[in-house]
Amino acid sequence: MTFRATGRTLRACLVLAALAGLGCGKGVNGPTDGPAPPTITTKSGVEMVVIPAGSFEMGSRGGSGDERPVHKVWIDSFLMDRYEVTQGEYERLGAKDDPPFSNLSHFRGKDLPVEQVKWPDAARFCNARSRAEGLKSCYGDDGSCDFDADGYRLPTEAEWEYACRSGTTGDYSFGGDARQLGDFAWSADNSGKKTHPVGQKKPNPWGLYDMHGNVAEWCQDSYDKNYYQSSPEKNPRGPGGDDAYVLRGGSWKSAGESLRSAARLGESPGFSDACLARDAIGFRCVRRSKD
């Protein structure tokens, strides 16, 4: 069921999520039992999932060195876009912003995820979406983020992995069997070397689509391969610096290993030294769960 984003219904959603015992940190290898968290529909008409508060084990013991050490993290409740930002959404807001911004995607289609988006452009979109809904913008002109603002921003790396895992502890949100990846993700094995309309594959247990594959997603955090050694336990927001930002989820051109829930990648915010093709990079938005 979809709810309108009023204060009363949003608070009700959060209560329901808490009563359902979601996000309690009792992850399992494969999909979890029980109902998915509730969703809301924003003033802009975008579906968002009410991600419940909880703790999880972040990182991987068997992955790359930057995924270790595995460490326990607490995440407060927040809202996350159910789908990656589409070109249709990006163009509608871009046409209204002052000055306007354009869709520079390689693969064109209103239901395709927007790509070739630099990190500052993603932050600008978040601010434009905030203004369109009468919310306080999170990003300053220098790219700094006001986490207390009620507007939209990019997810922290910890928020992203917590939402991706959705209570599971395996390599993927559906478990550890990479042979099932094609049911949940567009990757190098099945994409036909292009992006695909959002929401065509199966969602994760919390109802989020394309968390594995299609386009890799910008996160709020700067990238530091050693950050997990000193990351705080509650709501980590990443290290300082702006030389590289975190990308998560892998893309249409990635092998299955790069689509794991814990897989990390650092990328220049302006594509000056792109590790992924520019047309493999997009994003989704989050915001605080309280009005």
CB 7 within 8 A of CB 291: yes
Which pLDDT band holds residue 1 (cuts at 50, 70, 90)? very low
Give CA separation, 212 vs 78, 85, 181, 204, 208, in Å. Answer: 20, 15, 8, 9, 10
Q: What is the pLDDT of residue 28?
A: 57
Q: What are the backbone angles phi and psi of residue 122, rounded to the nearest 5°?
A: -65, -40
Q: What is the mean pLDDT of residues 6-24?
A: 38
Which pLDDT band holds residue 271 (cuts at 50, 70, 90)? confident
Name the region of 197 (left: φ>0; alpha: ψ -120 to 50; beta: rest). beta
Q: Report the distance separating Cα 174 and Cα 209, nearest Å.
A: 12
- Whether the per-residue pLDDT at 20 is higher than 80: the answer is no
Q: Length of the chain, please? A: 291
Distinct helix (H) and strand (E) counts, the chain: 5, 12
Nearest residue to 280 (alpha-carbon basis) of 123, 153, 106, 126: 106
- Whether the per-residue pLDDT at 71 is higher than 70: the answer is yes
Q: What is the DSSP letter of 170?
A: S
Name the token pair of 107: 């693969």
User: Omega into 69 within 30° of 0, i.e. cis?
Assistant: yes
Q: What is the pLDDT of residue 31?
A: 66
How far, rounded to the nearest angstrom, does the alpha carbon of residue 34 sit from its chain's CA centroid?
A: 22
Q: Topology of domain 2-84+147-288, per CATH? A: paralog of FGE (formylglycine-generating enzyme) (3.90.1580)
User: Omega into 203 within 30° of 0, i.e. cis?
Assistant: no
- Whether the per-residue pLDDT at 57 is higher than 90: the answer is yes
Q: What is the pLDDT of residue 34?
A: 74
Map out the domains of the chain as residue ranges.
2-84+147-288
Q: Write down the pTM of the prediction.
A: 0.89
Q: What is the pLDDT of residue 273?
A: 60
